[in-house]
Structure 1
Amino acid sequence: MCSRKTAPVRTLLAALAVVLAFLIQLWPAPANASSRIKDLVDFEGIRENQLVGYGLVVGLNGTGDSLRNSPFTRQSLQAMLERLGINTRDADLRTANVAAVMVTANLPPFATQGTRIDISVSALGDSESLQGGTLLVTPLHGADGEVYAVGQGSVAVAGFSAEGEAASITRGVPTVGRISNGAIVEREIIFSLTNLRTLRLALRNPDLTTARRIATAINKFTGLNVAYVRD
């Protein structure tokens, strides 16, 4: 009688064992913590370069600079019109659809002529908003004064400002915008890895243990004793 009662129990235990074995196979194994060297270090000489330029944004719906309070906007507007063959030196310019802006960008390493990069546009005068505006052709200079890119395009603004009879509201910063792929690289920064006899890696978070592990990993991968900790 005992064998008859224990038979269903044994069957149940066997079924549970099969299910448990199946669940163990599905249980995620602990992942090996590893990082790529390029995520930990910066290569000496391979970096972004900052560019800056001064330009005009036009097409604003009455939210541009007041020419009385922003003489640089008036001078820039007159100079631009003169380059286009329009003489406005003696004219009384009255417009609120133009704003003077500073344009900034980061030139990535190994960028070639024709590469497009993003640019940021920030109001310089008393403009209320750059929404709906278009940046005119603006040369972007490097620290050496040379022109490395030229920007132009419609400005995308994340912030907004609205005003009614009894109240006004502002969200974000409507005087700062961005133009995706708004600049074209015109000059390349000359840099050749093949001419380097040594390549230095700088840890973003300096740590002696990490530096030694990186040197060990490089030597193990190459099979040569080519990497060492310098500092």
Structure 2
Amino acid sequence: MQKFFAVVAFAAAFLTAWTAAPDRAEAAASRIKDLAAIEGVRENQLIGYGLVVGLNGTGDSLNNAPFTKQSLQAMMERMGVNTRGANMRTANVAAVMVTANLPPFATQGTRVDVNVSALGDAKSLQGGTLLVTPLLGADGEAYAIAQGALSVGGFVAKGDAASITRGVPTAARIANGALVEREIAFKLGTMSTVRLALRNPDFTTSRRIAMAINDLLGAPAAEPIAPSTVRLSLPPKFNGNIVDLITDIEQLAVEPDLPAKVVIDEATGIIVMGQDVRVSTVAIAQGNLTVTVTEQPEVSQPNPLSQGETVVVPRTQVTVNDDSKKKLAVVKSTVSLRELVDGLNALGVGPRDLITILQAIKAAGALQAEIEVM
């Protein structure tokens, strides 16, 4: 509970400093580079199946992981070693899934990071080395090849009577562990029209972005066609190079517009409210009914030579605490976010009760904002 009050105190201090900023519009402005992305310029997910060797007895047990045994036999046969019908009992090999993100415009020879996760019943991947593993795209083609020593953040220490596990020892990472072998063609420099995809779709924000671009260029090159999309045409003065145009506009500052929203995480008691949250005039009373049940069993012993039995006699005490001294508090209409937080904190409520109060205000129709429960 102390953590919850600390979160509320930090939020109140942050709101005080934020509302005291001399130029609120300038402080809230963001670059177009941070508000939108070029449609089509994105990462692509890659996945592969491979083997990790060199484990110190913490790999898959081949009897419980037949896919590891089959993969090991197939690999050995490719190396010219026949292991069919042999009784393989090694515990130094583990089957893993390898994942990576192929960055946009990645060329042949570029290195990318890979994540390695155990697939069988391996205890740890510490000290292992990933063998050559093709990484496939959604089309089934291999775009990168991964191999290298694993870096594991967790570990397992085990004794005869106790064991300690820290982190996840069956997940690892290889920095620059994959080599790009196939490029994804995307000729951005020859395009005459691109579309900006807003990360947070909003009609007002898309219009502001288009206006800022047109003011810079002095021509109607940008047009908002949806709350999530701004179409950008290449003006003649850029000589057919869309990259120059994107470089000029991505540093423009635009103030994004956000809907009034209250986000609630009931599991942790976290509440986040947008700056445009408003409430109509409403009266609020908050009180707690606490019922405490205390068990104090007593031991009853018989008199000497009475041939009785010792029994436990239950003693239950029930206490009811009705906090009925709380009075109604009036929250006036069109209050700011800071005034709303100060008023609710003045009622002496914690985050848990604050969540219920906000939901009750919304049910009464006095909260002019959307409530989203995570």
Fold-level similarity (TM above 0.5): yes
Letter in 2 for 1:207: D
1:54 aligned residue: 49
- Residue correspondence of structure 1 range 67-146 to structure 2 within 5 A: 67-146=62-141
Q: Secondary structure at the match of 2:223?
A: coil
Q: Deviations over 1:185-231 (max 9, x none)?
A: 00000000133232111111111221111111111222210101101
Q: Deviations over 1:54-88 (max 9, x none)?
A: 00000000000000000000010011111111111
TM-score scaled by structure 1? 0.85
Q: Secondary structure at the match of 1:199?
A: strand
For residues 37 and 150 of structure 1, the distance between their equivalents in structure 2, rounded to whole angstroms, comes to: 35
Corresponding residue to 1:218 among 213, 220, 245: 213
Gaps of 5+ in 2: 1-20, 227-374
53-62 vs 29-38, which moves further: 29-38
For residues 160 and 89 of structure 2, the distance between their equivalents in structure 1, rounded to whole angstroms, comes to: 25
Letter in 2 for 1:127: A
Q: Secondary structure at the match of 2:210?
A: helix
Letter in 2 for 1:155: L
For residues 94 and 215 of structure 2, the distance between their equivalents in structure 1, rounded to whole angstroms, comes to: 58
For residues 194 and 186 of structure 1, the distance between their equivalents in structure 2, rounded to whole angstroms, comes to: 22
Q: Deviations over 1:11-34 (max 9, x none)?
A: xxxxxxxxxxxxxxxxx9869333
For residues 76 and 166 of structure 1, the distance between their equivalents in structure 2, rounded to whole angstroms, comes to: 35
Runs of 4+ that moved beyond 2 A = 28-34, 194-197
2:367 aligned residue: none
Corresponding residue to 1:204 among 184, 194, 199: 199
1:163 aligned residue: 158
The reply on whether 1:40 has 2:35 as its aligned counterpart is yes
- Residue correspondence of structure 1 range 169-188 to structure 2 within 5 A: 169-188=164-183
**Shift, 1:154, TM fit:** 0.6
TM-score scaled by structure 2? 0.53
For residues 225 and 56 of structure 2, the distance between their equivalents in structure 1, rounded to whole angstroms, comes to: 59
Gaps of 5+ in 1: 1-27
Q: Secondary structure at the match of 1:129?
A: coil
Indicate the RMSD between aligned Cα atoms, in angstroms.
1.4
Aligned residues: 204
Determine which structure has the larger strand proportion and give its number. Answer: 2
For residues 222 and 160 of structure 1, the distance between their equivalents in structure 2, rounded to whole angstroms, comes to: 57
For residues 215 and 161 of structure 1, the distance between their equivalents in structure 2, rounded to whole angstroms, comes to: 55
Corresponding residue to 1:154 among 146, 149, 156: 149
Q: Deviations over 1:150-171 (max 9, x none)?
A: 0000111111111112211111
The higher-RCO structure (CA 8 Å, 6+ apart) is 1
- Percent identity over the alignment is 71
